[in-house]
Structure 1
Amino acid sequence: MKALQKLWWLTLLRGIILVLLAFFVFRHPVEALVGVALYVGISLLVTGIVKAGASFSLRNTIPNWGWGLAGGLIDILFGFVLLSNPALTAASLPFVVGFWIIVSGIMSLAEAFQSRKEANSLWGFGMVSGLISIVIGYFITNNALVGMLTITTWMGIGFAIAGIVNIMIGFKLKTLKDF
């Protein structure tokens, strides 16, 4: 805890950077979405390299190591594809997110029906949340602008909340007494 107390300013600095990043996301949503697309592309590239390297280096100890190698190579391929045209990736991101929300909503509906069969009195909440998810996912996938604004708005809100929390923790660490 003493190390955290001594470096309280790093937590404060991280919070300030996150709040500034939130302002950037709100002011420049398209650029923020392109940044997310670049991040996803780089992440896939790095994880693909690690997966492929680990699978290949452990080929004598892991049965079916070829599947891990294949998965790593596919990640590398997708990473290159996403990085080759970040604008196209950013444009398709709302469709991917919207589809994911629709699938999550369908899963919530299925769980709600199963809960109803099991006489769970809270099954209605699952039903409502599933239907809301499907509707939101529909709007995101059918209107790219709405999808882009939804994604960037939630990103900005997340950065702002994380930044404020880090700033509060930084100041709290500064004022803590040695114990």
Structure 2
Amino acid sequence: METVENYRGTYKYWWIMLIIGILSILCGIWVFRNPVESYFALAVYFCIMFILFGIGEIVNAFSNQRVRNWGWGLAIGILDLIIGFILLANLEWAIDILPFAVGFILMFLGIDFIGWSTQMQTFRIPNWGWVLAGGILTLIFSFLIIFHPLFGVFNIIIWTGLAFIFGGISAVMFSFALRK
């Protein structure tokens, strides 16, 4: 039977989640302070992340050639790399699909926080409710981004900023719970 100490012991680098949370909160504040610049920055960031994920998948595929079906990871990596470079060369396309990309990324992040909160509750780690609330709010904001992207740049900026802030708060609370 696992104990709270065993659960926390697997997260000796709790401070990484704290840094991610703080950076996420700061990013959310920056989004509100610089709405036009942040929208274009998000589009460029989106393109760069596709490229970095592609490189990561390619490196992972080559380092795991003994694993069955490693070629699919290589193919996905190459596809991500190509999509990233195409979008970076055509930022108008990236700007158009940005609400959907951000919405889906935040949706998966919200689901992660909800899952982490249930694990925290199972191990009776305090503040699991804050992580759950942050995950639910991140999920709600992600759905608003996905299903209402036509409200314009203003809408994506507000929901993205709020999602970064609530996701950051959840990450900070999660890191404090792991630290104890």
TM-score normalised to structure 2 length:
0.49
TM-score normalised to structure 1 length:
0.49
Tell which structure's C-alpha radius of gyration is larger: 1
